[in-house]
Amino acid sequence: MTADRYRPQFHFTPLRNWMNDPNGLVYVDGEYHLFYQYNPYDKVWGHMHWGHAVSPDLVHWHHLPLALHEEPETGITMFSGSAVVDWQNTSEFGNADHPPIVAIYTGDHRPAPLEDVHIAYSTDLGRSFTKYAGNPVVDVDNPKFGDPKVFWHEQTEKWIMVNILGHEQGCVVLYGSTDFRNWTYLSRFEAPDVAPAIWECPDLFQLAVNGDPSDVRWVLKINNTDPAGQQTWYFIGDFDGTTFASESTAEEAAGRDYGDIYAEVTYNSIPAADGRRILIGWIRQQPVEDRAWTGAQSIPRVLTLRGDDTGLVLCQAPVEEMEALHQEHHHWEMVELSETRPEPTRKLAGDTMEIKTEFEAGAARDIGLHLQMNEGGWARIGYSTANRRLFVDQANGKRVEAPYSLKHRRLKMHVFIDHNLIEIFAGDGDTVITTSLAPDPLCETVEPYAEGGTAQLVALDAWQLASALESTQ
Ligand code: FRU
């Protein structure tokens, strides 16, 4: 089927129609749940419902029926939010043997410009949800309020809800509850030196500096709709159960995520023995003719906090479960790269690949990977030494750039190519580009290249990746 020829093989996509933010990421009973903003009627945004899929391993996803439906009778649609397992049944929506999953979401009222916070619960492991009859549970009479991220705060023994508020200067407001029905206002976080813009999709979680459990920080993540700035921000600081205090300057908080990723959020209820902070983000796309769906979710990523004398840096790495897809492996090292491309040219064939590379930039102006596409086009995943930019560039297409400095003229990149989706983790994952090539080319071959001088491919490891799609897809 033409429509599916371009379907990414290891990124989650809806079978058809529009998807945006990941919602309600929660792990329970051996399943990672992925709910998501979904329009069941069209390939463009609208009629927000919560779609639903589950995975045993964050790699293979199984599509399930819609979890939360819009309410045509009240005009309320289901905007973004989170989900938790209420282990102690504090909500009394379940019982001690069957702790409920509670979803906390934004009710967007149409046509009134109003958003408030609603809850729904499931006592059958997320297979069906009942909306709470007393909704909304928080209403501040504001047209932009919500995207609630809720988590259990051990020290103060309460649920914490982090929301965005307001259209003007972005702002986060925190609430606390012991039963999900009643919420008490706790505090407000603002960053006055960040240019005014709507904020969306907050998250608040702990990370240990360099993995040291005795040196733990709280991280407040937000998305910023200001088109002139970064879209994902990470404020690093402390949270005492009431107030979040940031230690980051605006410059430090402006994250190093580039391209088309947005609305990232992390999992709740990952078992302590695992301990990872796992994030998924939405890869924004435009509808394309002949393609049945719009939008994809990123590869799940593990967040870490690296500290050195220059400060703290949030790093991202693909979950190691992705290695389950490894197929044929290629390993090259010490390949001289020059403009004339001496034979035998090193080429990898395929369009679903994982590649780990290290280049020594030498005298080259540009280094990286050259992708030959079907239909005669090309794309490049590279680094420009002249202006210190990591980039993804496409013939007659857009160029995504990320400022990036090499250490000792060495470039390390961990790259995933999944049809038209590209994810690049540079260095230690401190700088990430996530993008899709437009509209839907397929990659035929990949080869390392250098331009404007010679360089060296120090090492390259590449794996063809198996499809993770369900057989029905
Ligand atoms: C972010 C967002 C959220 C909102 C949802 C609506 O992409 O705008 O703020 O809840 O999408 O689909």
Per-residue pLDDT tens digits for 187-196:
999 998 888 8
CB contact burial 322-357 (16+ within 10 A = b; e otherwise): beebeeeeeeeeebebbeeeeeeebebebbbbbbeb
Question: What is the reported pLDDT for 2?
Answer: 46
Residue 337 has pLDDT above 70, yes or no: yes
Is 21 noted as a catalytic residue in this protein?
Answer: yes
DSSP string, 365-433: SEEEEEEEEGGG-EEEEEEETTTTEEEEEETTS-EEEEE---BTTEEEEEEEEETTEEEEEETTTTEEE
User: Does 232 sit in the ligand 1 pocket, CB within 6 Å?
Assistant: no
Distance of CA 165 from the midpoint of ligand 1 (Å) = 13
To test the pocket of ligand 1, the residue of 68, 164, 200 to mutate (highest count of ligand atoms within 8 Å of its CB) is 200
> Under 8 Å CB-to-CB from 440, ≥6 apart: which residues?
6, 288, 291, 419, 420
CA-to-CA distance for 112 and 78, rounded, in angstroms? 15
Q: What is the mean pLDDT of residues 373-388?
A: 92
Nearest alpha carbon, ligand 1 atom 12: 79
Q: What values do phi and psi take at 401, rounded to 5?
A: -125, 150
What confidence tier does 5 reach under pLDDT thresholds 50, 70, 90?
confident
Give residue 221 CA to ligand 1 midpoint distance, Å. Answer: 15
**Does residue 263's CB lie within 6 angstroms of at least one atom of ligand 1?**
yes
Centre of ligand 1 to C-alpha 20, Å, is: 8
216 by DSSP, 3-state: which? strand
Class of residue 417 by CB neighbours under 10 A (exposed 0-12, middle 13-18, buried 19+): buried
Helix (H) or strand (E) holding 254: none
Average pLDDT, the chain: 94
pLDDT of 397 reads 80
Find the mean pLDDT for residues 224-247. Answer: 95
Q: Residue 48: CB within 6 Å of ligand 1?
A: yes
The pLDDT of residue 17 is above 50: yes
* Dist. CA 366 → ligand 1 center (Å): 37
Residue 106 Cβ < 6 Å to ligand 1: yes
* pLDDT above 70 coverage of the chain, percent: 98
Residue 451 CB less than 6 A away from ligand 1: no
Q: Which of 21, 203, 393, 418 is catalytic?
A: 21
* Contact 420 CB / ligand 1 (< 6 Å): no
Tens digits of per-residue pLDDT, 72-110? 999 999 999 999 999 999 999 999 888 999 999 999 999
d(CA 284, ligand 1 centre) in Å = 12
The burial class, CB within 10 Å (0-12 / 13-18 / 19+), for 252 is middle
Q: Is the pLDDT at 344 greater than 60, yes or no?
A: no
pLDDT value for 183: 98
Looking from the CA of residue 147, the nearest atom of ligand 1 is 10
